Structure 1
């Protein structure tokens, strides 16, 4: 089995992390009827994963940004339509009544997650709903 041809899954917004890679390897070993004695229950350890990444220079670890499914589905025409509609709706609203989301100190971010991506990927994203 070669994991590397499947390493472009991050381009679709679903990169994997170390834990998921460990379980992919465990499932592969279990399904193929192989047992690796140094892995407890065929599950490789964190040190093995670090060595795996070191052996494959085309892989890199980065912190991914969370992106909601609905936001990931927005394309340029939809965004332009939204901006044009927003301009007309806010035309008579005083500036003092317009708030930026960041100024309200509300957040729905689930935190950053370290993921495996192809080397050179600067800003990986994870598509997920947050609330």
Structure 2
């Protein structure tokens, strides 16, 4: 219903694919980047449109998102590049390597004594919030992350350390 879009169906499909692909890699697209890209396409093709300086506005973006429910505006969380590289297989491998080390050193019995097995967990309170709404897949991703280039994430960290039997490490 309504007037036809200014982009062809193929161009809109390519735009959707680009947005989803970038988000999956940890580089979600900001709505202004989408408008920049559409503006570039319209300027290069010199096709008539009702946009000021060939740049779509907020209404166009809203209607674009309605036409493509597989994309949504989501709030991102900034994570470091090193944290983004942690995967389940890498964690499983770490534990396999630990078990092998304990067996090689003949100290695997440590794992049978809960007072000798410790877990440390940290939590941080951000001092500088830096995230915003980006575009990414509407489904399949519980959280949407944006990989930071440097130390954009400052926080105060608390480290808790407990043994498997529930004893806290003295402060």
Give the strand-richer structure, 1 or 2. 2
SS at match of 1:116: strand
| RMSD value, Cα | 2.7
The aligned counterpart of 2:23 is 10
Aligned twin of 1:72: 84
Equivalences, count: 112
Q: What per-residue deviation string (whole Å, max 9, x for no partner) do you get for residues 18-62 of structure 1?
A: 1111111001111222242x2111111111100110111211111
Determine the structure 2 residue equivalent to 1:20.
33
Structure 1 stretches of at least 4 aligned residues deviating more than 6 Å after TM superposition: none
Normalised TM-score (structure 1): 0.70
Is the contact made by 1:63 and 1:124 (CA closer than 8 Å) also made in structure 2? yes
What is the SS of the residue equivalent to 2:72? strand
Deviations 1:92-123 (A, max 9, x none): xxxxxxxx563xx563542x211111221320
Question: Which protein, 1 or 2, shows the higher relative CO under an 8 Å CA cutoff with sep ≥ 6?
Answer: 1
Aligned with 2:143 (options 123, 127, 130): 123
Unaligned runs of 5+ in 2: 1-10, 99-121, 154-171
| Residue in 2 that maps onto 1:34 | 47
User: Between Structure 1 and Structure 2, whose CA radius of gyration is higher?
Assistant: 2
What is the TM-score normalised by the length of structure 2? 0.55
> Quick check: 1:65–1:126 contact (8 Å CA) kept in 2?
yes
Q: 1:69: how far off?
A: 2.0
Q: Structure 1 unaligned runs (5+)?
A: 85-99
Say if 1:101 and 1:122 are closer, same or farther in 2 by CA, change over 3 A: closer
Judged with a 3 Å threshold, the aligned counterparts in structure 2 of structure 1 residues 71 and 109 are, in CA distance, closer, same or farther, namely farther
